[in-house]
């Protein structure tokens, strides 16, 4: 694809507006192609995608595997507990073993931030031609989730031409456990990169004030910001202040495991102050949609009736869009065959 220069996809801080446009355009083409079942595309024929998941996953792993199969790639999965890692083999040697078996793309999820980066750097140093795609690392990054959220919003605002311009000047509210969310961090780079203003909303224990400067400087290791003019980020403590004027609201999973650290006084209080419901959403305009990356705690960060309301909830749409977005990423990193010409109908 013209202008695409990424050998690996590890975060969205290094994406330019053109990179976002390339991914969204391809995803839109994949969404409009009938590629299920026997009608696979030959684009990744002869390629092997290996998923190395060191952390549990429902949506991300299955949708990467489905995306690879729809592009005719072979798929191989690794289970850490049944592997030689327990005998002391290093992560790099494990990855090189899969490369020796023919892996062209490694999709890596790890509970520690930076693991996909280190692996990509070490594999490059060893001269391996494999691409590394992060499927979520610690609190740092979840690029394919950030992109599928971007695609879902862009399709909501401009169903026929969902590009970065669909986000320009929009006000997107992200509410919940921002501090512990790699999804929020990836969304901050993606949304502001496409010109949206992001309002973050949570109590101080889940959202330190410094998040207001999150995209103000390029991240460590990056000399310059690839986006010339980003949207703004604002930190607001009350939903009543955050919601008026919102174009979309994204709520994050409240990580119940944090309760032991007493970051919240009670789930009940949290729901009363930060939980989304139809009544709360009335503070925004009519038809403003709600997103959630899943898994969901029903009745905590979002009321069950709102989650299940097809007129307001884009949660199932996010899951559906995960497949074409991951097809686009796999295609960009490893295609061996061109795509058929675009269809006009979405």
* Binding positions for ligand ASP, rule: CB under 6 A: 136, 142, 182-183, 253, 293-294
Alpha carbon of 211 to those of 66, 174, 202, 216, 241: distances in Å? 35, 12, 11, 10, 18
Q: Which residue is nearest to ligand ASP (CB)?
A: 253
- Contact between 151 and 27 under an 8 Å Cβ cutoff? The reply is yes
Interatomic CA distance for residues 106 and 130, integer angstroms: 7
Interatomic CA distance for residues 242 and 78, integer angstroms: 43
Closest CB 182 distance from ligand ASP, rounded Å: 5
Closest CB 173 distance from ligand ASP, rounded Å: 17
* Residue nearer to ligand ASP on the CB measure, 28 or 181: 181
- Contact between 128 and 96 under an 8 Å Cβ cutoff? The reply is yes
Closest CB 74 distance from ligand ASP, rounded Å: 25
* Residue nearer to ligand ASP on the CB measure, 110 or 253: 253
Alpha carbon of 260 to those of 176, 180, 203, 257, 298: distances in Å? 17, 14, 16, 6, 20
> What phi and psi, each to the nearest 5 degrees, are found at residue 74?
-85, 150
Strand extents, DSSP E, 307-346: none
Interatomic CA distance for residues 71 and 27, integer angstroms: 13
Three-state SS string over 216-239 comes to CCCCCCCCCCCCCCCCCEEEECCH
Closest CB 138 distance from ligand ASP, rounded Å: 10
| Greatest extent of the chain over all pairs of C-alpha atoms, in Å | 57
* Residue nearer to ligand ASP on the CB measure, 172 or 291: 291
* Residue nearer to ligand ASP on the CB measure, 171 or 182: 182
- Contact between 10 and 135 under an 8 Å Cβ cutoff? The reply is no
* Residue nearer to ligand ASP on the CB measure, 146 or 164: 146
Closest CB 25 distance from ligand ASP, rounded Å: 25
Task: Please choose, from the candidates 159, 180, 144, 179, the residue with its C-alpha nearest in 3D space to the C-alpha of residue 289.
Answer: 159
* Residue nearer to ligand ASP on the CB measure, 28 or 187: 187
Closest CB 127 distance from ligand ASP, rounded Å: 32
* Residue nearer to ligand ASP on the CB measure, 136 or 164: 136
Closest CB 206 distance from ligand ASP, rounded Å: 13
Closest CB 328 distance from ligand ASP, rounded Å: 19
> Which neighbouring-strand residues pair with 250?
174, 291
Using CB atoms within 10 A of its CB, is residue 66 exposed (0-12), middle (13-18) or buried (19+)? middle
Closest CB 109 distance from ligand ASP, rounded Å: 8
Interatomic CA distance for residues 50 and 105, integer angstroms: 6
- Contact between 323 and 299 under an 8 Å Cβ cutoff? The reply is no
Interatomic CA distance for residues 61 and 77, integer angstroms: 9
* Residue nearer to ligand ASP on the CB measure, 183 or 233: 183
Helix (H) or strand (E) holding 267: helix 267-274
* Residue nearer to ligand ASP on the CB measure, 33 or 319: 319
């Amino acid at each position: 694809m013209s202008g695409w220069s990424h050998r690996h996809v590890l975060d969205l801080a290094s994406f330019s507006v053109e990179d976002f446009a390339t991914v969204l355009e391809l995803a839109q083409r994949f969404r409009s192609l009938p590629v299920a079942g026997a009608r696979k595309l030959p684009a990744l024929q002869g390629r092997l995608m290996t998923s190395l998941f060191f952390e549990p996953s429902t949506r991300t792993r299955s949708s990467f595997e489905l995306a690879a199969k729809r592009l005719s790639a072979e798929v191989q999965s690794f289970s850490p507990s049944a592997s030689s890692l327990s005998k002391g083999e290093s992560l790099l040697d494990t990855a090189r073993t899969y490369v020796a078996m023919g892996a062209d793309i490694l999709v890596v999820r790890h509970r520690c931030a930076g693991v996909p980066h280190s692996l990509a750097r070490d594999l490059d140093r060893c001269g391996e031609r494999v691409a590394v795609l992060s499927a979520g690392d610690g609190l740092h990054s979840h690029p394919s989730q950030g992109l599928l959220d971007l695609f879902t919003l862009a399709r909501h605002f401009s169903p026929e031409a969902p590009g970065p311009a669909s986000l320009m000047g929009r006000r997107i509210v992200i509410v919940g456990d921002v501090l512990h969310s790699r999804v929020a961090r990836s969304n901050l780079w993606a949304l502001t990169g496409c010109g949206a203003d992001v309002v973050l909303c949570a109590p101080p224990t889940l959202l330190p004030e410094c998040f207001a400067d999150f995209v103000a400087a390029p991240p460590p290791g990056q000399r310059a910001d690839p986006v010339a003019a980003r949207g703004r980020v604002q930190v607001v403590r009350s939903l009543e202040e955050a919601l008026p004027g919102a174009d979309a609201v994204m709520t994050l999973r409240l990580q119940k495991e944090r309760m032991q650290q007493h970051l919240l006084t009670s789930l009940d209080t949290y729901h009363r102050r930060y939980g989304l419901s139809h009544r709360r959403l009335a503070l925004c305009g009519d038809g403003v949609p709600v997103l959630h990356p899943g898994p969901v705690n029903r009745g905590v960060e979002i009321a069950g009736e709102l989650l299940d309301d097809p007129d307001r909830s884009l949660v199932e749409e996010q899951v559906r869009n995960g497949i074409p977005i991951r097809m686009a990423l796999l295609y960009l990193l490893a295609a061996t065959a061109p795509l058929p010409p675009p269809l006009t109908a979405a």
